[in-house]
Structure 1
Amino acid sequence: MVGKAIVNAREEILRRLGDAPADAAAYAALPRPYLRRHHDGDVVALFAERAADYRAEVRRIAAADLPGVLGELRGRYVAPDGLPEAWTAEVDVVRDDPPVSVAELDALDGVITGCAAAIAETGTVVLDHGPGQGRRALTLVPDHHVVVVEAARISADVPEAIEGLSPERPLTFISGPSATSDIELSRVEGVHGPRRLTIVITDAPQEQSR
């Protein structure tokens, strides 16, 4: 009887997963009584501080200075489809159209992307792999990931950020460069992804959207 109940529960879950995508209005209407944010101060400054704690290289600049700052990069970088061309006007870039092979990605110096969101509390960048962010291989294979974070995309806490993301898109959360530790706690970076993570925060004049 117990086994039968487990099978029925499994079948019910699989049936629900096979249903049509969740209604966006119904998803937005879900009750969220928990505290959405714990910080009401300068979330941009908090994000910069927490990201640096994770050993990311953080720069905070004016939006107008972005092309010049990215122009300081040395080497060839891949740019995903949808990344504004004005951002990389002074960079030697390879566009991922047609898709660059894994071998070619490994030979490049890095990748430049935008992001879907950023979380101040955890110093995390979130990619949903939409325009300007590219497929996952772009941010896993090259040794250097440069991500542009517009100030308006920074949320104070995880719940606030998640609320603004689509549950139907693949999400990648990045907190610092790829790193792991052995049993003696010797830190090694670059094992599962980029050895370097550079976050360029653009203090755009528009009011923060969330």
Structure 2
Amino acid sequence: MTSRDVILARIRRAGAAGATGPTGAEAPIPRDYLRVHGERTPAESADLLAANLAEYRAHVHRTADDGLPALLARLLARRGTRTVLVPAGLPLYWLADAAATHVPDRAAATPYEFDAVDSVVTGCALAVAETGTLVLDGGPAQGRRRITLIPDHHVCVVRVPDQVVDSVPQALERLDPTRPLTWISGPSATSDIELDRVEGVHGPRTLDVILATTPTPPTAAPHTQP
């Protein structure tokens, strides 16, 4: 018997011993970890998200919802974007001020066509404050996964506070596990054995994140009896 056989046998024994409870029923999985680390207001959660995104070298911008078209136009112009890839369900007013030519997300488009596009603009499904992570699930404003992996510049819009959660456990409760989930923490990067950071290896080299504050709906006045 080899060392490999010994190790695998021990794993099997440990798994069999812990898989069932005393009555033979499946043993419950302990979930005694912290669901969230601390209590925060929505504004504090947005601040933590911005700080962690910046730590990952994403460029973070803030605006009210009505300032989104102007900000997107400035970011694309600053980048020198001539063509921008647009998911089918992206709100039309987002790019109303942008001068770049819109490129639709066509199923027949090749990776080479997407590689020739300067930028892509999408929404997101959720953003996780504690990890500085954006989650895409292929929704209408996000498009298919490949449109956010091939272009060199990705602009992602996060609606605050609706799309911001504090922790990964909170995010998992709101996400559909059957959808194609993409978890993004900063621009694509890797480091070799000498710790030389290289960006744009398996995704966008530059990630701009816009935290767009959505207007708070007015509170109805309490009804009083005459």
Q: Same-fold call, TM > 0.5?
A: yes
Q: Is the 8 A contact 2:36 2:167 kept in 1?
A: yes
Q: Is the 8 A contact 2:49 2:131 kept in 1?
A: yes
Measured in 2, the distance between the counterparts of 1:60 and 1:31 equals 39
Match of 2:69 in 1: 67
Give ranges in structure 1 of 5+ residues lacking alignment: 1-5, 7-29
Superposed displacement of residue 90, structure 1: 1.8
Superposed displacement of residue 170, structure 1: 1.2
Superposed displacement of residue 35, structure 1: 3.2
Is 2:211 the counterpart of 1:194?
A: no
Structure number with bigger Rg: 2
Measured in 2, the distance between the counterparts of 1:108 and 1:150 equals 25
Superposed displacement of residue 31, structure 1: 9.7
Q: Is the 8 A contact 1:149 1:200 kept in 2?
A: yes
Query: What percentage of aligned pairs have identical amino acids?
Result: 52
Match of 2:173 in 1: 163
Match of 1:203 in 2: 213
Is 2:159 the counterpart of 1:150?
A: yes
Match of 2:9 in 1: none
Match of 2:114 in 1: 105
Match of 2:54 in 1: 52
Match of 1:19 in 2: none
Give ranges in structure 2 of 5+ residues lacking alignment: 1-11, 13-28, 218-226
* Secondary structure of 2:52's aligned partner: helix
Q: Which one is further off, 72-81 or 114-123?
A: 72-81
Q: TM-score, normalised by structure 2?
A: 0.75
* Secondary structure of 2:141's aligned partner: coil
Match of 2:25 in 1: none
Measured in 1, the distance between the counterparts of 2:106 and 2:201 equals 27
State the Cα deviation string for residues 78-112 of structure 1 (Å, max 9, x = none). Answer: 01111111111122221214553211211111100
Aligned residue identity for 2:36: R
Aligned residue identity for 1:111: V
Measured in 2, the distance between the counterparts of 1:191 and 1:31 equals 38
Match of 2:84 in 1: 77
Q: TM-score, normalised by structure 1?
A: 0.80
Instruction: Give RMSD over aligned pairs.
Output: 2.2
